[in-house]
Chains A and B, each alone.
Chain A
Amino acid sequence: MSKPMEQGAGAGFEPRIVAFFCNWCTYTAADLAGVSRLKYAPNVRVIRVMCSGRVDPQFVMEAFAKGADGVLLGGCHPGDCHYAEGNYKTLRRMRMLERMLKDMGIADGRFRLEWISGAEGDKVKSVVNDMVAKVRALGPLDLPGKFAEWDKEIEELEHQISAQPAKEAVHAR
């Protein structure tokens, strides 16, 4: 499929990033980052799940559809999963999801999967900062805006319909 085309960076654009963090590693790492008073970009909103394996590709798509410019998924390193192998299941699904997002024109870098152990508070910081910078460069995704724009073509008709008797409206375009 053809390369995704998106608008470039908007001035003063602050990316909105939704993160799904597993309770045992990445969420704990984010806690550690806090305890260590590390400073990082405020653009990320963390949603806590017990295991990255709970994250369904639907969640990622829904986050984009509801206005996220990027989605970050954090889990335990391979082999360290608190639930033995949940993170492998995540990896497998998300490899396919990445291909699908590409085919739907969502640029690489808007979705990101990272292994961050409970001890890697500094990695939370560097990953978040790096992702925010990259997504800022990509510019807004703004799917809710796009949906509205796409649906203008049928809304316009809506106005005419409400404005004219049905019989005549049949011929209007």
Chain B
Amino acid sequence: MPDKPKVAFYWCASCGGCEEAVVDLAEDILKVVEAVDIVLWPVAMDFKKTDVEARPDGSIAVAFINGAVRTSEQEEWARMLRRKAQVVVSFGACANLGGIPALANQFKKEDILKFVYEDCPGVDNPSRTRPQTSTVDEGRTVTLPEIRNMVRSLDQVIDVDYYLPGCPPTPKIIMAAVQAILAGKLPAKGTVLSPDIALCEECKRKDSKPADLSLTEFKRPHQIQIDPEKCLLAQGLVCMGPATRSGCEALCPSGNMPCTGCFGPSSRVKDQGAKFVSSVFSNIAPKEAADIDKVLDGIPDPIGTFYRYGLSKCILRRKIN
């Protein structure tokens, strides 16, 4: 099957959920397999790095790369695939925005190593041993890759053509993207392949949002019985929907929990968290600083809440420390 376009799937710092999402194409995956020639897909196929490296540059039609980038190895893979592929699709929240792993950008690498190998309960490590990039054990040199100091989105490391949003992207938008690419119906470079409009558009609760919402306090989901019909913001829960791209058909709200923003912002917004803040807090009720602060206290972890998936793409990129 030489004439079929060649497709590669690869994962960097990811949880495997994006792979699962592809597997969740279920019956459709057979269509994809018929239409293309998968030349790399570690989670499900035995093709190896050398197989890919052996291919001429630009010989792969599309490379779907998921996961954030944190190690030199991932940078190498990303660059290699960039060379081999005509089109690189940044696949999923981690590749697009840093994702959950990017929350580590609020901490130093040392914080992590110290806790995990020394301070964490149950660790039996009197010699304070730490994993080394290179160890000599009875004359045998064993090595590990180096961990970078911050978590990056894919486009902070290589040039990216398109973005598939979501944690993970839904089968529906994956399929739409694959079909668009196969059909050669390519939008402008840099396009995020889901509707460029916020989530409320798709949310069944949309109509229940009052036009004069003015919050006097924020609630945390475990503190209240959540009304399954009513707008979650109107219930005082932080729902990122208004500042988040649509395309998932409001899955989390359909699970009776607020949107946490995994699809990222619209193309008109640079910084999802900042923009959400600009919107929601303009509307809270109090006018005095002290009363305002009481309301804000309802959101004890602003960064983790407004940048749940987007810290690599926060305008400030990481915590200065």
Interface residues of A (CB under 8 A from B): 1-2, 4-6, 53, 56-58, 60-62, 64-65, 78, 85, 88-89, 91-93, 95-97, 99-100, 103-106, 143, 146-147, 150-151, 153-154, 157, 161, 166-167, 169-170, 173
A166 touches B53 (CB 8 A): yes
Question: Which residue on chain B has the smallest CB distance to residue A63?
Answer: B315
What 0/1 readout, one digit per residue, does chain B (291-309) give for beta carbons within 8 Å of chain A?
0110010010011001000
Give the residues in chain A near B314, CB-CB below 8 Å.
61, 104
Q: How large is the interface on B (under 10, 10 to 19, 20 to 34, 35 or more residues)?
A: 35 or more
Complex Cα–Cα for A78 and B292 (A):
14
Q: Does B150 contact A (CB under 8 A)?
A: yes
A57 touches B274 (CB 8 A): yes
Question: Which residue on chain A has the smallest CB distance to residue B315?
Answer: A61
When A91-B289, A103-B302, A173-B145 are in contact, do A56 and B278 touch as well, CB less than 8 Å?
Answer: yes
B315 touches A96 (CB 8 A): no
B273 touches A147 (CB 8 A): no
Q: Which of B27-35, B168-176, B224-232, B280-288 contacts A (4 or more CB under 8 A)?
A: B280-288
Given contacts A62-B315, A100-B273, A150-B317, 11 further A-B pairs with CB under 8 A are A56-B274, A57-B277, A85-B287, A93-B278, A93-B281, A95-B281, A96-B281, A104-B318, A104-B319, A154-B157, A173-B133
Question: Which residue on chain A has the smallest CB distance to residue B79?
Answer: A161
In the assembled complex, how far is the CB of residue A79 from the closest CB belonging to chain B, in whole angstroms? 9
Q: Does B155 contact A (CB under 8 A)?
A: no
Question: Which residue on chain A has the smallest CB distance to residue B146?
Answer: A173
Complex Cα–Cα for A1 and B293 (A):
18
In the assembled complex, how far is the CB of residue A98 from the closest CB belonging to chain B, in whole angstroms? 10
Complex Cα–Cα for A66 and B284 (A):
30
Give the residues in chain B near A170, CB-CB below 8 Å.
49, 53, 76, 80
Complex Cα–Cα for A1 and B133 (A):
29
Complex Cα–Cα for A141 and B303 (A):
20
A146 touches B274 (CB 8 A): no
In the assembled complex, how far is the CB of residue A159 from the closest CB belonging to chain B, in whole angstroms? 12
Question: Which residue on chain B has the smallest CB distance to residue A86?
Answer: B282
Q: Does B83 contact A (CB under 8 A)?
A: yes
Complex Cα–Cα for A166 and B152 (A):
22
